[in-house]
Structure 1
Amino acid sequence: MFRYASARIAQTVVVLLAIAFIGFLLVSNLGDPLASLLPPDATPQDRAALIATLHLDQPVAMRFLTFLKGLLVGDFGISYRSHEPVAALIWERLPATVELAFASLAITLLVGVPLGVYCGIRPRSALAKAVMFVSIAGVTLPTFVVGILLIAVFSVKLGLLPSFGRGQTVDLGFWKTGLLTASGWRALVLPAITLSLFQVTFVIRMIRTQLMEVGHSEFIRFARARGVEARRIWFVHALKNTLLPVITVLALQFGNIIAFSVVTENVFAWPGLGSLFLQSIQTADMPVISVYLIIIGAIFMMLNLLVELSYPLIDQRVLRERA
């Protein structure tokens, strides 16, 4: 187990370094920090001081090491657009995106997993066919179309839920949350449903396919021949053999929720990292763009590492096959 875990951690570290290097190249080669950060009446002394502050007078290797050190201690540089520390901008928007992501993941798990299991166990039932038919819409409709339709129905026509913003928030000092207010929960509903729709339909189809495939395997047929109860066959034997791909997909879907929240946050004017990323692209704010991409890459890699480390706990055969 130690050898297996060490190899996976080493691979993750190498990929994270590669992601950090790509982010460093974006900041180093795109945009002009001096023109963006210095006022028009800046003196040569101001210019020299900024060059020293940004370490632009150092060799590339030293600048990359300085960049890595900054990432480790939370110093992400200065925004070209607002002239504020990037870390402050990220931390200000992070709670909104995290709460939206976890709400979407909760909907995905509570809706997608049970329906996927049902459709896999009873694929010919009327409910399963109806679910699979409706799921086509979730796969094919673009996220922004879903968001606009929900706004048109529940905000404009029915007036039940807000169409933009995060609602009233409570500042806990280290975290600004909307989960402690009624308006915060109401504002969360439509964006969370919009962001989770594709994930729900994807999970339903994936679990259904896995269960149907396992259901035709030899050990399931043998269990049926021995007279094992159907519920035990599906919920003990079949589900256990679908856990590896299911856990992998669910973990990566959580990464997708965060990474692809850009469109949803833009539709609902949700003040999260996605909307910050779009604003940064419009103004070519390379430090913010770079840090956002590094954060998303790090989230995917850490989720992948956690999934890889959980494999041996689910199936000991992984240690023999992958170590």
Structure 2
Amino acid sequence: MTSYFLQRLIQSIAVLLAVSVVVFFAVYGIGDPIELLVPPQASAAERLALIKRLGLDQPVWSQYFTFLGNALSGNLGTSFVHGVPVVSLILGRLPATLELVLLSMITATVVSVPLGLYAGLNPDSRPSRIIMAGTVIGFSLPSFWKGMMLVLLFSVWLGWLPTAGRGETVTALGMQTSLFTLDGLKHLILPTLNLAIPNTVLMVRLIAAGAAEATTQDYVKFARAKGISRRRIVRRHILRTILIPVVTVVGIEFGSLVAFSTITETVFSWPGMGKLLIDSIYQLDRPVVVAYVMLTTLLFVGVNLLVDVLYAALDPRVKLSGGMT
């Protein structure tokens, strides 16, 4: 166990270091933020002073090593635009993104498990064919189009739900959240649905394929021969088998949504991390972009480790060393 975690720790550090090099040099090689930050009427002396204050007068390799040294102490830099530490800026947007992602993953899981099981266990029925056809449509449509259609239907035509923003929030556990106000929940519905749709259809197809394959396995046939009820076979054998790939998808997609829910947050003007990233790219706020990518990479590394541990817990054949018994 100890050697496994040490190996993963070394791999994680190597990944973070490689990502830092690629992202830093890529971001710092595009555009000139001074052109956006300095007003046209500023003098040459004021312009040079700002360049020096931001450290942009140093060679890019020197800027990178300065960034790396500061990052080891938890300092990922200061935003060019907002003038505050980027870590606090990003973490300030994290609660809005987290509540959106958590609700969308819960929605996707709750909907996909029964639909996927039904489609996999009854592949020739008409409802199953409708479900599988719906997954193709849901996965094919782009997120921005689905978001605009949701706004058009539920906000413009029906007038049931608000179009954008986070709504009324309250403080819980030291964070602002929309989960405990009626207005906040109304604002959550549309972006949650937009994020949940692609993950729902992905998991429905995954669960359906797993359930259909599991019904052909010898242990399921043996259970049927013993006279065990169909419901118990599904609950104790088939469901347990298909939970393994579902856990993988949930873990990976959770990290992906936290990191890259940019389209949904932009369409619905949701004040989360994704919208911050888009705004920072437009404003050439380099420290925010680099720090964002580094923090999301760290999130992916942690999620992957958690998924590996859950794999071992769900399937005793999986060893922590990565092999099979």
TM-score scaled to structure 1, two decimals?
0.87
SS in 2 for 1:197: helix
Distance of aligned partners of 1:194 and 1:28 in 2 relative to their CA distance in 1, 3 Å threshold: closer
Which amino acid counterpart does residue 114 of structure 2 have in structure 1? P
Deviation at 1:23, TM superposition (A): 3.1
1:107 corresponding residue in structure 2: 107
Assess, with a 3 A threshold, how the Cα gap between structure 1 residues 45 and 280 changes in structure 2: closer, same or farther: closer
Q: What does residue 286 of structure 1 align with?
A: 286
Aligned-partner SS, 1:176: strand
Counterpart in the other structure of 1:14: 14
In the TM superposition, residue 143 of structure 1 has moved relative to its aligned partner by: 1.0
CA distance change for structure 1 residues 280 and 204 in 2, over 3 Å: closer, same or farther?
same
Cα drift, residue 124 of structure 1: 2.7
Unaligned runs of at least 5 residues, structure 2: none
Percent identity of equivalent pairs: 37
Q: Distance in 2 between matches of 1:197 and 1:248?
A: 18
> CA, structure 1 residues 280+229, in 2 after alignment: closer, same or farther (shift >3 Å)?
same
Tell me the residue number matched to 2:250: 250
**How much has 1:167 moved relative to structure 2?**
0.5
1:50 to 53, 58, 83: 53
CA contact (8 A) 2:101 2:258 kept: yes
- Report Cα offsets for 1:178-235 as digits up to 9, x if no partner: 2222111110000000111111011101111111112212332233233333223222
| Counterpart residue number, 1:315 | 315
Runs of 5+ unmatched residues, structure 1: none
Aligned to 2:164: 164
CA distance in 2, matches of 1:174, 1:65: 35
Aligned pair in 2 of structure 1 residues 16, 291: CA closer, same or farther (>3 Å)?
Answer: same
Q: For residues 148 and 121 of structure 1, do their structure 2 counterparts lie closer, same or farther at Cα, with a shift above 3 Å needed? A: same
Q: Relative to 1, partners in 2 of residues 1:65 and 1:172: Cα closer, same or farther, differing over 3 Å?
A: farther
Structure 1 residues 43 and 285: alpha-carbon distance in aligned structure 2, compared to 1, 3 A threshold? closer
Pair 1:91–1:136, CA change in 2 (3 A): same
Q: How does 1:132-151 map to 2 (within 5 A)?
A: 132-151=132-151
TM-superposed CA distance for 1:166, in Å, is: 0.6
Following TM superposition, by how much is the alpha carbon of 1:175 offset from its aligned partner in structure 2, in angstroms?
1.6
* Counterparts of 1:241 and 1:210, CA distance in 2: 8
Q: For residues 47 and 196 of structure 1, do their structure 2 counterparts lie closer, same or farther at Cα, with a shift above 3 Å needed?
A: closer
Give the letter aligned to residue 179 of structure 2.
L
Distance 1:180 1:226, change over 3 A: closer
Report the number of matched residues.
320
Change in Cα spacing, 1:47 to 1:111, as seen in structure 2 (3 Å) is: closer
Query: Which residue of structure 2 aligns with residue 265 of structure 1?
Result: 265
Please say if residues 169 and 181 of structure 1, whose CA atoms lie closer than 8 Å, have aligned partners that are also in contact: yes
Q: Look up the equivalent residue of 2:83 and give its one-letter code.
A: H
1:1-323 alignment runs, 5 A limit: 1-32=1-32, 40-41=42-43, 42=45, 46=49, 50=53, 54=55, 60=61, 64=64, 66-171=66-171, 174-319=174-319, 322=322
Give me the CA root mean square deviation.
2.8
Q: More displaced, 297-306 or 17-26?
A: 17-26
Counterpart CA distance in 1 for 2:130 and 2:36 is 55
Which amino acid in structure 2 is aligned with residue 167 of structure 1?
Answer: G
**Is the Cα–Cα contact under 8 Å of residues 33 and 285 in structure 2 kept in the other structure?**
no
Q: Distance in 1 between matches of 2:132 and 2:83?
A: 50
Residues 26 and 286 in structure 1, CA contact (< 8 A), matched pair in contact too: no
